Amino acid sequence: MTLKALRRTILAATVLGGMAAAALPQPLPPPPPLPGLDVRVTTGRPPALRHERRGPRPGRDYVWVSGFWHWGGGRWDWVGGRWDRPAAPDAYWITPRYVRSERGYIYEPGHWSTQTVIVGEDIRARREWRKHERQHERELERERDRDRYRDRYRDER
C-alpha cells in the first residue's frame, strides 16, 4: 500500500467514524440544579401553575418532576418540568409546598424524599408550620401503611 492510499484510507475512516458518532443519541443535558433546600417566608403567593407537555421518557429509571414556582429571593421564578433520575433507588419527588401564613407564604422547595429540608427556628415556631408538619406526618403515615399493606399482600400470594 502506498503512502497516498494509506492517507486516503485513514481520512475515509475518520470521516465515517465522525458521521457514525453524530448519528448516536446525544446524552441529555444535566437537569437544572436544585434550589437551596431551606424553607423561607415569601411576600406573596405563587402564580398559577403552568401547563406543560411531557416529552418522551429518556429511560425506564426516569420519573417526571412537574414544573413549579421557586421563590428566588424577591420574586417567583418558574422551574420547568423535566424527566429526572431519583437521587436514590427508593426516593420519590416531593413537590414544593406553599403554606399560607399571616405575613405571606411559607415556601418549602421541591426535593427528593432522601434529602433534608432546612427549617429555621423562626419558621418552626409558627402555628401554620406546625399544622403543616402534622399534615405531612399523616401523609407519611398513610404512605407507610400503604407500603405495609402492599408488602403483606405480596407475602400472601
The CB-side HSE value for 103 (13 A sphere, CA atoms) comes to 8
**pTM confidence score:** 0.63
Cell of 124: 418552626
What are the boundaries of each domain within the chain? 40-156
Cα separation, 82 vs 28, whole angstroms: 11
Question: Do the beta carbons of residue 98 and residue 46 sit within 8 Å?
Answer: yes
pLDDT band at 41 (very low <50, low <70, confident <90, very high): confident
Question: Do the beta carbons of residue 112 and residue 134 sit within 8 Å?
Answer: no
CA-based nearest residue to 67, from 53, 87, 56: 53
pLDDT band at 33 (very low <50, low <70, confident <90, very high): very low
> In the prediction, which pLDDT does 150 show?
57
Cell of 31: 437537569
> In the prediction, which pLDDT does 18 show?
63
Cell of 95: 413537590
Whether 152 shows a pLDDT value over 70: the answer reads no
> In the prediction, which pLDDT does 20 show?
56
> In the prediction, which pLDDT does 116 show?
83
Whether 34 shows a pLDDT value over 60: the answer reads no
**Amino acid in position 50:** R
CA-based nearest residue to 63, from 84, 81, 87, 94: 84
* Segment 72-119, tens digit of pLDDT: 878 899 999 999 999 888 888 888 989 888 878 889 998 888 888 888
